[in-house]
């Protein structure tokens, strides 16, 4: 499928972006859209591993790396967090270690009732705040009293722990009269900063054991002892997608997964819209769940495996403010961002995949259409075997609609990103074949033509996603970080 590239202004996230990558998928909306002027379709064909970049780390890596170039600095800093509970600051040009900080013993699998990460340390992608010059993250730590979830703030200059941190999540919630069991809660979602508040989302472990809930915890940067929180009413309903919360302006959106034992809807299989205080509203404008939520619960077919994706889609009366939600049932749900619609309140729904969608999507615009890329075997792909990248076209001319634009051939479980040279030209979809063919792939965003595939990369973990800076792509893996130059 070909598309004429528009000269319309790029989306706000693309216009505002500099070369720093301070949060998951480039911005708080989780667009996954990076503007890289030097990375055209032609340049992408000659991307190669930078053999002069040497970066060794210890431990498995599920979290996306981050990149920050402080004002006046000669080079950028690359930050990587591992399941060994170690955070590394690396020279982004050479890979040389600038500092490292171990924040406690990671949790052994034998200390947990279920799960599939061993040891369990830092899983969710951290976030950097230039104002406080700190990197924030959650770590699962083995203490004498048992596993705990502790939220840290480290100085980006030297890795020292900032005053008032870490925050023990269970202890802080208990002081406000709420119970949080760190043995059965896991933290896989990317962290989010908004208005001097750090938001941390929690779900359960692989296996859905114990009395866990979907938690969103807001921690004040100025007073770390001050917390706000949201928790699902029923057991389960974890907020566990790699992308975590999606934010537009001051509006926060997040998804929840399957609940267990709920006879009436109790916050599972849902998309929520909340403000900074995380207060739940019974107004159907502020939540959505499919009408078959109970069937999804019974089949462990989470809506919450992928973060909600805000989209501004051109229509006859101007841009439509939408949310795209993707489920493990293979369906795409289009929602009105200002009125989520309550139970069964979607604007459109379509089966778009024959496999579970459990990685984060990325979006970009070409012509009057918006495209969304995600890892799954598309329902309308030419072949379900080997075509594990699906790209949807979202339109809103008469009414919002979803259609498959093209599919890409690869094997793996990475989360895609998109690069453009100016916000709309030369769109390229990049995705890792993590735990599959273990290659970095690139496809033209307009036609789906594959234009690059790397050599095999060792140590890639599921859900891993690359980042793009002005002159390099970076990929974090077990024991090392790869840099690709162009």
Partnered with residue 438 across adjacent β-strands are none
Name the burial class of residue 222, with classes exposed (0-12), middle (13-18) and buried (19+) by CB atoms within 10 angstroms of its CB.
Answer: exposed
User: Would you tell me how many other CB atoms lie within 10 Å of the CB of residue 131?
Assistant: 8
What's the pLDDT score for residue 72? 83
CA–CA separation, 10 vs 16, rounded Å? 10
Residue 381 near residue 404 (C-beta atoms within 8 A): yes
Of 475, 428, 429, residue with least CA distance to 456: 475
CA–CA separation, 168 vs 181, rounded Å? 11
What's the pLDDT score for residue 3? 33
Name the burial class of residue 436, with classes exposed (0-12), middle (13-18) and buried (19+) by CB atoms within 10 angstroms of its CB.
Answer: middle
Taken in order of first residue, the domains within the chain and their CATH numbers are: 12-485 (2.140.10.10)
Residue linked to tokens 């959505």: 288
Residue 88: helix, strand or coil by DSSP? strand
| Sequence-distant (≥ 6) Cβ neighbours of residue 408 within 8 angstroms | 387, 388, 389, 390, 391, 429, 431, 441, 443, 448, 450
What's the pLDDT score for residue 384? 62
Partnered with residue 139 across adjacent β-strands are 150
Residue 444: helix, strand or coil by DSSP? strand
What's the pLDDT score for residue 6? 30
Separation of CA 434 from chain center: 15
What's the pLDDT score for residue 403? 96
DSSP category for residue 328 = T
| pTM reported for the whole predicted model | 0.95
Residue linked to tokens 């040389």: 96
Q: What is the pLDDT along the chain (486 residues), one digit of tens a residue?
A: 333 233 233 444 443 346 899 999 999 999 999 999 999 999 999 999 999 999 999 999 999 999 999 888 888 999 999 999 999 999 999 999 999 999 999 999 999 999 999 999 999 999 999 999 999 999 999 999 999 999 999 999 999 999 999 999 999 999 989 999 999 999 999 999 999 999 999 999 999 999 999 999 999 999 999 999 999 999 999 999 999 999 999 999 999 999 999 999 999 999 999 999 999 999 999 999 999 999 999 999 999 999 999 999 998 778 899 999 999 999 999 999 999 999 999 999 999 999 999 999 999 998 667 999 999 999 998 776 679 999 999 999 889 999 999 999 999 999 999 999 999 999 999 999 999 999 999 999 999 999 999 999 999 999 999 999 999 999 999 999 999 999
């Amino acid at each position: 499928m070909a598309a004429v590239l528009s000269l319309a202004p790029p989306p706000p996230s693309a216009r505002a972006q500099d070369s720093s990558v301070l949060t998951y998928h480039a911005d708080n909306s989780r667009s996954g859209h990076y503007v890289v002027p030097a990375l055209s379709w032609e340049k992408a064909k000659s991307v190669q591993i930078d053999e002069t970049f040497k970066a060794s780390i210890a431990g498995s890596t599920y979290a996306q790396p981050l990149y920050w170039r402080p004002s006046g600095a000669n080079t950028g800093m690359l930050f990587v967090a591992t399941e060994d509970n170690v955070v590394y600051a690396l020279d982004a040009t050479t890979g040389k270690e600038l500092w490292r900080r171990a924040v406690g013993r990671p949790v052994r699998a034998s200390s947990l009732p279920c799960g599939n990460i061993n040891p369990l340390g830092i899983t969710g992608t951290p976030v950097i705040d230039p104002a406080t010059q700190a990197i924030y993250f959650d770590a699962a730590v083995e203490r004498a009293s048992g596993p705990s979830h502790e939220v840290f703030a480290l100085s980006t200059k030297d890795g020292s722990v900032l005053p008032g941190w870490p925050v023990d999540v269970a202890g802080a919630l208990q002081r406000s009269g709420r119970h949080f069991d760190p043995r059965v809660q896991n933290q896989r979602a990317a962290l989010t900063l908004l208005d001097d508040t750090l938001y941390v989302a929690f779900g359960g472990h692989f296996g859905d054991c114990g009395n866990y809930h979907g938690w969103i915890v807001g921690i004040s940067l100025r007073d770390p002892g001050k917390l706000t929180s949201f928790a699902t009413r029923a057991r389960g309903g974890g907020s566990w997608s790699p992308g975590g919360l999606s934010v537009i302006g001051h509006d926060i959106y997040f998804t929840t997964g399957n609940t267990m034992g709920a006879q009436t809807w109790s916050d599972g299989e849902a998309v929520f819209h909340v403000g900074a205080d995380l207060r739940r509203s019974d107004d159907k404008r502020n939540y959505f769940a499919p009408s078959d939520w109970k069937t999804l619960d019974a089949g462990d077919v989470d809506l919450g495996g992928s973060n909600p994706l805000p989209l501004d889609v051109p229509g006859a009366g101007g841009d439509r403010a939408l949310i795209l939600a993707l489920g493990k049932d293979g369906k795409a749900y289009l929602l009105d961002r200002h009125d989520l619609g309550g139970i069964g309140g979607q604007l459109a729904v379509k089966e778009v995949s024959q496999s579970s969608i459990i990685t984060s999507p990325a979006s970009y615009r070409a012509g009057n259409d918006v495209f969304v890329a995600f890892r799954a075997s598309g329902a309308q792909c030419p072949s379900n075997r080997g075509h594990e990248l699906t790209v949807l076209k979202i339109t809103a001319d008469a009414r919002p609609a979803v259609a498959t634009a093209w599919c890409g051939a690869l094997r793996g479980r990475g989360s895609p990103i998109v690069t453009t040279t100016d916000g709309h030209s030369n769109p390229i979809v990049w995705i890792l074949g993590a735990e599959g063919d273990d290659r970095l792939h690139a496809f033209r965003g307009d036609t789906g033509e594959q234009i690059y595939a790397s050599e095999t990369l060792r140590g890639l973990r599921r859900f891993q996603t690359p980042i793009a800076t002005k002159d390099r792509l970076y990929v974090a893996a077990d024991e090392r970080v790869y840099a690709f130059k162009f």
